[in-house]
Amino acid sequence: MTQKTSQGDDLLDQLTSDSRQTRQIARRRMIAEAVMNEGSMRIEDLTDRFGISLMTAHRDVDELVSRGLFRKTRGIVTAAATNLIESSEVYRANRQSAEKKLIAEAAMQFVEPGQAIFFDDSTTVLQMAAHLPSKVPVTAITNSLTLMNALKGMRDVTLLALGGQYYNWCNAFMGRMTINEIRGLRADVAFISMSAISDGTVLHQSPETVDTKRAMFDCSVKRILLADHTKFEQRALHSFAALDEFDVVIVDEKTQPVHIDRMRSRDINVVIAKGAGGRS
């Protein structure tokens, strides 16, 4: 019998749905993580590791290639050396997942029934979806197809789905049409996460992402940044906003005290999301 990785078993055990699509998404995320960790792998090795057929392995790899994450040559799949990897939803989904859940839970203190809320396409903000039923009724506005699917049918959540040009690598809509839709709205709060923070500035690799999230930022009364500890002292090409433009910055308890002290010295409201037994 083929054995799967313990990582794969853990993730599959957490799935709340037995649908083929859900299993497929989880498997592709595990494949992406494996190849990124190894740098390159033979497709036959993927069949052994994940207990799938060669045809399924090729199909999964081809989808990840189409997202710009991998290159496939003569049965070898290699992680692409590009910033698109770090931006992609497949890559981000499994990074710092525990910290993201804690940050998302802490963010819920800023959600009140009756609010209209912008949720961006980040995997950190996505974690807030599980907590929304405790704060309904709310109006959720998002460009994330992943979040749309998580919220559709949720009782007392009015879902406003932002359309526009679809970007496969992040499973979200962005661009001019999306921005025009955002500018026609006024929300009570926007929850935003970005890929890098350096010298008091929040940044991202993708200009389309910056422009779309900036529109949400500008059309909200309150702006809240969700940032785990790995975002600090990282660099990306495109500037989004200064940290002190946000009303609240929520970090996890692994964030270095120097970063927290620096933000608080600039009168930024910093909230530290803590797990059980976390530091005060």
Q: Could you tell me the pTM of the whole model?
A: 0.72
Domain with CATH 3.40.50.1360 in the chain: 88-271
| pLDDT score at 19 | 62
Taking a C-beta distance cutoff of 8 angstroms, is the pair 146, 88 a contact?
Answer: no
Task: Give the type of residue at 69.
Answer: L
What's domain 88-271's architecture? 3-Layer(aba) Sandwich (3.40)
Whether domain 6-77 has CATH 3.20.10.10: no
| pLDDT score at 182 | 98
Percent of the chain surpassing pLDDT 90 = 59
Distance of alpha carbon 274 from alpha carbon 252, whole angstroms: 6
Distance of alpha carbon 273 from alpha carbon 193, whole angstroms: 15
| pLDDT score at 95 | 57
| pLDDT score at 35 | 80
| pLDDT score at 167 | 85
Domain with CATH 1.10.10.10 in the chain: 6-77
Using 50 as the pLDDT threshold, list the residues of the chain that sit under it.
Answer: 1-18, 82-87, 279-280
| pLDDT score at 24 | 82
